[in-house]
Amino acid sequence: MKRFYRSTRDKQLSGVLGGLSEMYGIDVSILRILTVLSGFFTGGIVWLIYLIAAAVMPTDKQLKG
C-alpha cells in the first residue's frame, strides 16, 4: 500500500507535491503548474489545502524511521 508523504528530495516549499509525484508517477512540474492555476480558479482553497497538508503530513524520512 502506498503512503502519502512529503518528499525531502524533490521539494520547492514543503515537499507535498514532490510526494504526490513520487506516489503517482507524475512529473512534479505538471503538478506545480496545476496547483498554481487551480488556486486562482478556486479562490485559494487549493493553497489552503496545500498548507494544511504540509502541516500534518509526515516526511519520507519519518516514515522510514
Dihedral Cα 32, 34, 35, 38, nearest 10 deg: 160
Query: In the chain, where are the structural domains located?
Result: 1-59
> Which is more confident, 17 or 65?
17
Q: Which of 13, 12, 15 is nearest to 63 (CA)?
A: 15
pLDDT band with cut points at 50, 70 and 90 for residue 46: very high
**CA–CA separation, 6 and 25 (whole Å):** 14
pTM: 0.82
Give residue-wise pLDDT tens across range 11-44: 888 889 998 998 899 999 999 999 999 999 999 9
Question: CB of 36 within 8 A of CB of 24?
Answer: no
